[in-house]
């Protein structure tokens, strides 16, 4: 009965949150767990197979991709598609999935799990499979050093029966092999593809003897083919991408002799696709089923998302750490056409309040003639501008525009495609702004009747600024009173 009340309370809280102008993505989970402290246990009871996806970069894309493939094959799934990946986000997905009475019975739960939240999630609902993707320095104010984070995650897995899908190319992930679980190692062959080079990389030291690892091939950051004199080295893969080919329409992978095609773009998505293929094969999907469903896959919002504005293709990608930013820049500069570069940086709790990581980005590689203009935007726009200046970018090319809307408007006036890097809390507003600009262009092109457009500017009273400010004040007061900051409630 307590669980049923938790569902009703969560659904009600989510509806009220949306009425007040919020997304309502996690509040149902917060309320449900307040009512029923063991709420996550019900996911284990009412789902045949539970899959967790964790790591620093690529979780949301991989989670959505796995969910899509399984759903396409006829499985009944539950997933947190929106990327709310703390235990409250998982609980919120359960609330959304549950009917008003009783529980939905699902074949597979596919849950993105925040690295720091994994121990709590495992304790409340042990998974059958855990996909561990990669580890990079990320939000040091919240996670601490990578070594400490990994040890906490490993400790939470020691007593449970779980099958691990591990990135063989990441020496940090390889450390999970010490748990002596049943492991599936996935990775890219040494000559599978060529990632662009950049000067800044992650730590490449052996976790056993602290000697510097020797690499026969580096894909990016510390990912590649490594070996240490003490015997620690890249394990033999069970699933390997022998070839990865990028085209304007997406990427093509040859995995263990079989070809897979996806509309996802960006070489780094090869890892995301490879993890999805590996997990789905573990769940007994055939190669032909995976191929058929993969061609219909969609990327998550803000992950190399494209917008047609002023007849030019703009691109938006989420960045939250040096490794992700460097790969994004490398992808942006595959094209030599004239462009603008916009870097939107916030320091809200979800972004990480420590922004020192921007100094580890190889922003010097962006100092190119084809970049006609640089825009520093977001709450920490001035910090971005300073980093750009120290990267050698001429001051006359740097524009400081904290407002995201004004930054887009300024860039639109240049009639040059813009490539945008954005931290987490900048992402959703930018998707909305850019979608609106794209839709305006489409309406102008097709001569839409101007009268229906009036609805665009007519907002309900709950959406007016004063109510948003009131709601933000209440939210901040709640955070301060509860002291939750970046911790799980």
Catalytic residues: 354
Strands in 339-344's sheet, in edge-to-edge order, are 305-309, 312-318, 418-422, 339-344, 371-377, 398-400
Question: Rounded to whole angstroms, what are the CA distances from 408 to 318, 342, 344, 412?
Answer: 16, 9, 11, 6
Pairwise CA distance, residues 295 & 277, whole Å:
13
Running DSSP on this structure, what letter comes out for residue 459?
-
Burial class from Cβ neighbours inside 10 Å (0-12, 13-18, 19+) for residue 147 reads middle
Helices (runs of H) and strands (runs of E) counted in the chain: 17, 17
Burial class from Cβ neighbours inside 10 Å (0-12, 13-18, 19+) for residue 159 reads exposed
Burial class from Cβ neighbours inside 10 Å (0-12, 13-18, 19+) for residue 177 reads middle
Cβ neighbours, 10 Å, residue 396: 7
CA 75 to chain centre: 24
Half-sphere exposure of residue 139: CA atoms within 13 angstroms, side-chain side: 22
């Amino acid at each position: 009965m307590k669980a049923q009340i938790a569902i009703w309370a969560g659904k009600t809280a989510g509806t009220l949150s949306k009425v007040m102008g919020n997304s309502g993505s996690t509040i149902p989970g917060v309320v449900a767990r307040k009512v029923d402290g063991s709420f996550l246990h019900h996911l284990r009871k009412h789902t045949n197979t539970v899959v967790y996806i964790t790591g620093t970069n690529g979780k949301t894309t991989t989670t959505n991709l796995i969910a899509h493939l399984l759903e396409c094959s006829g499985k009944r799934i539950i997933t947190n598609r929106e990327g709310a990946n703390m235990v409250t986000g998982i609980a919120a997905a359960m609330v959304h999935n549950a009917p008003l009475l009783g529980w939905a019975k699902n074949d597979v739960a596919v849950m993105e799990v925040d690295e720091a939240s994994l121990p709590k999630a495992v304790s409340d609902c042990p998974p059958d499979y855990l996909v561990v993707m990669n580890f990079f320095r990320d939000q040091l104010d919240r996670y601490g050093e990578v070594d400490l984070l990994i040890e906490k995650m490993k400790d939470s897995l020691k007593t449970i029966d779980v099958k691990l899908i591990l990135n063989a190319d990441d020496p940090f992930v390889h450390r999970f092999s010490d748990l002596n679980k049943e492991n599936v190692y996935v990775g890219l062959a040494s000559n599978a593809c060529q990632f662009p080079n950049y000067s800044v990389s992650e730590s490449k030291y052996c976790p056993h003897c602290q000697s510097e690892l020797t690499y026969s091939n580096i894909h990016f950051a510390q990912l590649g083919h490594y070996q240490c004199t003490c015997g620690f080295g890249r394990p033999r893969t069970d699933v390997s991408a022998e070839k990865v080919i990028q085209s304007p329409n997406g990427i093509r992978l040859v995995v263990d002799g079989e070809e897979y095609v996806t509309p996802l773009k960006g070489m780094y998505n090869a890892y995301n696709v490879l993890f999805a293929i590996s997990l789905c094969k573990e769940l007994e999907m055939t190669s032909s089923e995976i191929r058929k469903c993969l061609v219909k896959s969609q990327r998550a919002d803000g992950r190399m998302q494209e917008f047609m504005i002023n007849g030019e293709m703009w691109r938006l990608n989420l960045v939250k750490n040096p490794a992700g930013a460097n790969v994004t820049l490398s992808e942006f500069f595959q094209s030599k056409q004239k462009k603008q570069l916009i870097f939107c940086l916030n320091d809200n709790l979800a972004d990480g309040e420590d922004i020192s990581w921007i100094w580890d980005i190889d922003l010097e590689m962006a100092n190119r003639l084809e970049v006609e203009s640089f825009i520093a935007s977001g709450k920490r726009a001035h910090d971005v501008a300073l980093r750009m200046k120290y990267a050698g970018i001429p001051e006359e090319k740097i524009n400081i525009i904290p407002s995201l809307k004004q930054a887009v408007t300024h860039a639109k006036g240049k009639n040059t495609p813009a490539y945008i890097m954005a931290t987490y809390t900048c992402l959703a507003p930018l998707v909305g702004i850019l979608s609106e600009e794209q839709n305006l262009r489409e309406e102008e092109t097709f001569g839409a009747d101007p009268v229906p457009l009036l609805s665009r500017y007519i907002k309900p009273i709950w959406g007016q600024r004063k109510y948003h400010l009131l709601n933000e004040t209440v939210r901040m007061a709640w955070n301060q009173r509860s002291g939750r900051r970046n911790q799980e409630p």
